[in-house]
Chains A and B, each alone.
Chain A
Amino acid sequence: MPEKKILTKNCGKIDPGDVSTYEAEGGFKALEKTLRISPEEVIAEVKASGLRGRGGAGFPCGAKWELARKSKGDEKVLICNADEGEVGTFKDRYLLQHDPFSLMEGMAIAGYAIGAGKGYIYLRSEYHYLLEGLQKAIDQSKEKGYLKDLEIEIREGAGAYICGEESALMNSIEGKRGESRFRPPFPPESGLFEKPTIINNVETLVNVPHIIQNGSEWYGAMGTDESKGTKLFCVSGDVARPGVYEMELGCDLKELVMDLAGAKEIKMIQVGGSTGGIIPSDMLSTPLAYETILGSGAVMVFDQTRDVVDFTYRTMEFLNEESCGKCTPCREGTEVMVGVLGRLVNGEGVDGDMEVLEELSDTMKLSALCGLGQTAPVPVLDTLKYFRKDYENRISQSVFLRSLKTVNG
């Protein structure tokens, strides 16, 4: 399966600083079509298309919009999640940089569908250099009359991974400490400043104009049963040609990393970012889809020279550092895990370390407050499953090293 350019069709073709070049490629035609039908019809079309969230969780987009549409409240809010904090993910940046107008059109359609008058773009602080271009895109679209009913404001993050999580993101916009909230209530019912709120990833919103323009049937013909459309994959790590690849969902992981990106001697691949699952080299022919493995679309390749326990330790260090600190399982659990993995890496492992990791994982997965703590054990459990020998070796090495110390006094 070759690349299939739908979301990225304008990238490199239009001038991201000039709205008329976007119009010349058929831009804002979907918005015009939208305004001729009712919001309910727009939602029905998005629902029928099978579009699911591209931010990581994969929630059906149309169903979410319907909840917000039906929520009581005079003012509704649309937030575009451009925090892109997930490790190894850089697809939203690609879209924002090369085609910001598609996002404007997607947001205008989403705003119309749910009845939002106010929109925010929550921009990752590391993307500060995109702020000017993005503001220009807002201004130009507004001047042309495309954003009559939606006032879009950009808010910058301050560098916290957790602020990409929707409830922490809303706290951040409200000026509060960036930490997760318990749910229910879910944002479509009560979100930003307690108003019904829709939060969508950049890529999700960029899909919307194509669905409206070409119809849900056209869209639904791409992908698998539960994963429709195309997806931007961010391939990085030990590959010859890292970058963003747009593929139809359900495509083959092996083809993406080996044929297109040029990976060799693969040991394992992490799909979906720091909390993503691990695919060992003998399972490379896995289709990339919500049914199997997907997450944010980050595809990080590790070759034979990489050490699995080192990798897991570094990943856990990151998650530990980024835990918001509100709930016990994540705050204390990641700290204990970093300790155990750190000892293993330094040759100080003991029997029972793997069991401690597994027992902790269970509690974190089942009882942490938000997605971070719930999925932080995934790389640990997956590496324990596929590379258990590596852990065992570390422990027996540790035991051996200690025995030398005792012998030598």
Chain B
Amino acid sequence: MGDVKLIIDGTEVSGPSGMTILEAANETDINIPTLCHRPDLKPEGNCRICVVEVEGSPRLVASCHTPITEGMVINTCTPKALAARKTVVELLIAGHTGPCVTDECAKDCELHYLAAELEVGPPRFQVKARRSYPMETLSPYVQRDMGRCILCRRCVRACTEIAKKNVFSMAYRGFHSKVVVDCDVPLDKEECRDCGICIDYCPTSALTKPNKGVS
């Protein structure tokens, strides 16, 4: 309990200043779906799944990085917010070359769960060419299939912030943005050992342990 008071879905909530909307909601057991955010990583706000409606704001607000302010009135499940979340999931599904729905590893895919939770229907959107890259199998510790990547950048942050290795970074722009190693070479680096942290943080099957994931 803290000094900033606000209302989330009709319930009065309070928290210390600096707390995010997502944290405040979680404390009162209000569930807001997230994808790019993890409680132990710095928020980045790139996926836009966690958007909510804040009274007085013309746009939706991402709850994972927006701090609470006194008197805020937040609604997490309005038709606008739900429609935006659904569209975002559909867009992510449309853009990547995932094994979704049919394949085994879809069972572990967070995107797949989200699609089910948000009741995403048949695909409305189509891209000219889905992202597709050759499988990277050089490293004995991490196998990368970047066509399955949904650009949440959790691996980048986990490697930097938790493993303190900085193996990954972002390259290219727009739709062609990609998580890369050095100047976009297949992963095979001295620093990268068997910590496996990036694999744990990857929501899809883009990063797997060699021979264990589906290859």
Complex: chain B residue closest to A362, CB-CB: B83
Q: Is the CB of A325 within 8 A of B43?
A: no
The answer to whether the Cβ of A402 comes within 8 Å of any Cβ in the partner chain is no
| Secondary structure type dominating chain B contacts | loop
B:71-116 near A, CB below 8 Å: 80, 83-84, 87-88, 91-92, 94-95
- Find out whether the CB atom of A369 lies under 8 angstroms from the CB atom of B175: no
0 or 1 for each of A299-325: is its CB under 8 Å from B? (1 = yes): 000000000000000000000111111
Residues 51-70 of chain B, each 1 if its beta carbon lies under 8 Å from chain A, else 0: 10000000110100111000
**B124 interface residue per 8 A CB criterion:** yes
Indicate if the CB atoms of B88 and A363 lie closer than 8 Å. Answer: yes
Docked complex Cα distance between A244 and B59 (Å): 34
Most chain B Cβ neighbours within 10 Å, of A329, A356, A362, A365: A329
Report whether B174 and A331 are in contact in the complex, using a CB–CB cutoff of 8 Å: yes
Asked whether B174 lies within 8 Å of A327 as measured between CB atoms, the reply is no
**In contact, B173 and A323 (Cβ under 8 angstroms):** yes
Query: Is A74 close to B, CB under 8 A?
Result: no
Complex Cα distance A365/B88, Å?
Answer: 12
Q: Is A332 an interface residue (CB 8 A)?
A: yes
Q: For A334, what are the chain B residues with a Cβ–Cβ distance below 8 Å?
A: 174-175
A366 CB within 8 Å of chain B = yes
Q: Given A328-B48, A359-B87, answer yes or no on A336-B125 (Cβ-Cβ < 8 Å).
A: yes
The answer to whether the Cβ of A182 comes within 8 Å of any Cβ in the partner chain is yes
Q: Mark B173-185, 1 if CB is under 8 A from A, else 0.
A: 1111100000000
Give the A-binding residues of B (Cβ under 8 A): 43-49, 51, 59-60, 62, 65-67, 80, 83-84, 87-88, 91-92, 94-95, 124-128, 151, 170, 172-177
Distance in angstroms from A146 CB to nearest chain B CB is 40
Given contacts A339-B128, A367-B48, contact A332 B43 (CB under 8 A): no
B60 touches A333 (CB 8 A): no
Which of B80, B92, B125 is in CB contact (< 8 Å) with A356?
A: B125
Q: How far is the CA of A374 from the CA of B51 in the complex (A)?
A: 14
Q: Could you tell me the distance in whole angstroms from the C-beta of A242 to the nearest C-beta in chain B?
A: 30
Per the bound structure, the CA–CA distance linking A336 and B124 in Å amounts to 10
Instruction: Say whether A336 contacts B94, CB under 8 Å.
Output: yes
Tell me the bound Cα distance from A332 to B96 in angstroms.
Answer: 10
Is the CB–CB distance between B174 and A324 below 8 Å?
A: yes
Indicate if the CB atoms of A326 and B46 lie closer than 8 Å. yes
Specify which of B66, B88, B94 is in contact with A367 (CB 8 Å cutoff). B88
Q: CB within 8 A of B174: which of A320, A339, A356?
A: A320
Instruction: Using A327-B45, A327-B48, A367-B88 as known contacts, say yes or no to A335 and B174 having CB atoms under 8 A apart.
Output: yes
Contact of A332 among B44, B95, B173 (CB under 8 A): B95
Known: A325-B177, A326-B46, A335-B95. A367 touches B59 (CB 8 A): yes
Contact A369 B46 (CB under 8 A): yes
Q: Which A positions have Cβ atoms within 8 angstroms of B?
A: 160, 177, 179, 182, 184, 320-329, 331-336, 338-339, 342, 356, 359-360, 362-363, 365-369, 374
A335 to B127, CA, bound (A): 6
> Is the pair A329, B173 in contact by a Cβ cutoff of 8 Å?
no
Q: Which of B66, B80, B94, B127 contacts A366 (CB 8 A)?
A: B80
- Nearest CB of B to A157, in Å: 14
Q: What would be 18 A-B contacts, judged by CB atoms less than 8 Å apart?
A: A160-B173, A179-B170, A182-B43, A182-B45, A182-B65, A182-B66, A323-B173, A324-B173, A327-B45, A329-B88, A331-B151, A332-B95, A332-B127, A356-B125, A362-B84, A363-B83, A363-B84, A369-B48
Closest 7 interchain pairs by CB?
A325-B177, A332-B91, A182-B45, A363-B87, A323-B174, A335-B175, A367-B84
What is the bound-complex CA distance between A368 and B48, given in angstroms? 7
Contacts of A182 in B (CB 8 A): 43-45, 62, 65-66
Q: Is there an interface contact between A327 and B65, defined as CB atoms closer than 8 Å?
A: no
Q: Chain B contacts of A177 at CB under 8 A? A: 170
Beyond A362-B83, A367-B88, 19 extra complex contacts between A and B, CB < 8 Å: A182-B66, A321-B173, A323-B173, A323-B175, A324-B173, A325-B170, A325-B173, A328-B47, A328-B49, A328-B91, A332-B91, A334-B175, A356-B124, A360-B125, A363-B87, A363-B88, A366-B84, A367-B51, A367-B60
A322 to B174, CA, bound (A): 7
Q: Determine the chain B residues whose CB is within 8 A of the CB of A331 once the complex forms.
A: 151, 174-175, 177
**Residues of B contacting A338 with CB < 8 Å?**
128
Which residues from B are CB-within-8-Å of A366? 51, 59-60, 80, 84
Distance of A339 Cα from B123 Cα, bound (Å): 15
A286 to B51, CA, bound (A): 35
Smallest CB gap from B178: residue in A: A325
Residues of A within 8 A of B51 (CB): 366-367
Pick the most buried of A342, A356, A369: most chain B CB atoms within 10 A of its CB. A369
Say yes or no: B176 contacts A325, CB within 8 Å.
Answer: yes
Using Cβ atoms and an 8 Å threshold, which residues of chain A touch B176? 325
Q: Which B residues are in CB contact (< 8 Å) with A322?
A: 173-174
Q: How far is the CA of A331 from the CA of B96 in the complex (A)?
A: 12
Bound: A184/B172 CA distance, A: 26
Q: Is the CB of A336 within 8 A of B174?
A: no
**Contact at B87–A320, with CB atoms within 8 Å?**
no
